[in-house]
Amino acid sequence: MNLNLNIEDINEIVTICGANNSGKTNVLRALEVFFKPQKYNPEYDAPNHKFNGSRGQSVYPEIQIIFTDNIKTYEIKKIFDIGGLKSTSGKLDGNVLQNDKIDQFINKFSFFYIPSININFPELVNNLIEEIYDLEYEKTRFTGLKGQLKTAFDSYIQGTVDVLIT
């Protein structure tokens, strides 16, 4: 599938809307696997109909995303197999990128996949807050006022979850 999404402002929440069975969930799942390869599940993410239709030949996802900011163009491709992420390759303005530069670029993004059905809202809110919290305070030592802020924030999270549960 070739798909073109133009996202003008990545500092805002982006939503994808469309008719039922139009592929929204598959697109979001591909984005999640691209940004978080550890979430890849071959039984779920490798198309079963292609596997069966290919008479046993393995068919696994290849996800390529092109990022452009009107100055630079990054092309990053991730290939998966039954064991997970098999390889990552990338280019910057047509020149090959080393893996550490690819990782450095990808780590600038925060991607949160929120499924549209079967949602446990307290758990969802807690998971989102924890992910954002981890991103914001990663590698920070919590001493003094930072420690007090962390304690207050943890209390706020728990209070929010408690309100949502009741």
Q: Which H or E run includes 76?
A: strand 73-81
Q: pLDDT tens digit string along 104-134?
A: 999 888 888 877 767 777 777 777 777 766 6
pTM greater than 0.75: no
Q: Report the C-alpha gap between 149 and 96 in whole angstroms.
A: 43
Rounded distance between C-alpha atoms, residue 156 and residue 159, angstroms: 5
How many residues make up the chain in this entry? 166
**How confident is the model over 56-97, as pLDDT tens digits?**
566 789 999 999 888 999 999 999 998 999 999 999 999 999
Where along the chain do its domains lie?
1-111, 119-166
Query: What sign does the dihedral 11-17-23-25 (CA atoms) show?
Result: positive
